């Protein structure tokens, strides 16, 4: 079951951190960059991030989450995390579909991920995203940007 989350609630923010940190630790290992900003998040930074969060629950356990910011017809995916214990269960795909269903007929989804994060790059490509840019952050971290048009 997917439901909207109130990230300003400290208990909810703590619950999100409980899946975000292990998920991003896997990405950090894959891309060889231990300084990923989401690994530095705290309850306070999540509560003030300004993103809309949706959680994927199995029974009452949060297994995955997606966060977005909407700008007109553009939905910018800021986080898509699944706890490593729940990898390869289709949770990321369900969360992505849920957000995609929010798009209007002319809507666009955008997202970035580490270029060396092969599972994420493959996931977005299989989901119909097209690579739009590759850029360096801090002079050493390669990030790939993707876009998917609704129409």
pLDDT in tens, 56-75: 999 999 999 999 999 989 99
Spell out the residues 6+ positions from residue 118 whose beta carbon is closer than 8 angstroms to its own.
30
Structure tokens at 141: 């971290």
pLDDT at 103: 83
% of the chain at pLDDT higher than 90: 86
pLDDT at 56: 98
Query: Does domain 2-149 sit in CATH 3.40.630.30?
Result: yes
Spell out the residues 6+ positions from residue 126 whose beta carbon is closer than 8 angstroms to its own.
none
pLDDT tens-digit readout, 88-120: 999 999 999 999 998 877 899 999 999 999 999
pLDDT at 105: 77
What's the whole-number average pLDDT of the chain? 94
CA atoms within 13 A on the CB side of 122: 5
Q: What is the band of 45 on the pLDDT scale with cuts at 50, 70, 90?
A: very high
pTM of the model: 0.94
pLDDT at 151: 65
pLDDT of 136 above 80: yes
pLDDT at 49: 97
Kindly list the domain boundaries of the chain, sorted by start residue: 2-149
């Amino acid at each position: 079951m997917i439901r909207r989350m109130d990230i300003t609630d400290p208990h909810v923010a703590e619950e999100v951190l409980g899946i975000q940190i292990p998920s991003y630790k896997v990405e950090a290992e894959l891309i060889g960059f231990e300084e990923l900003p989401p690994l530095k998040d705290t309850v306070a930074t999540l509560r003030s991030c300004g993103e809309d969060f949706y959680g994927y629950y199995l029974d009452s356990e949060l297994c995955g989450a997606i966060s977005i910011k909407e700008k007109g017809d553009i939905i910018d995916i800021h986080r898509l995390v699944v706890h490593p214990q729940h990898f390869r269960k289709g949770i990321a795909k369900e969360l992505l579909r849920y957000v995609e269903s929010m798009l209007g007929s002319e809507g666009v989804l955008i997202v970035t991920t580490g270029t060396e994060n092969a599972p994420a790059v493959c996931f977005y490509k299989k989901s119909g995203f097209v690579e739009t840019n590759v850029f360096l952050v801090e002079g050493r971290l390669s990030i790939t940007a993707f876009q998917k048009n609704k129409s």
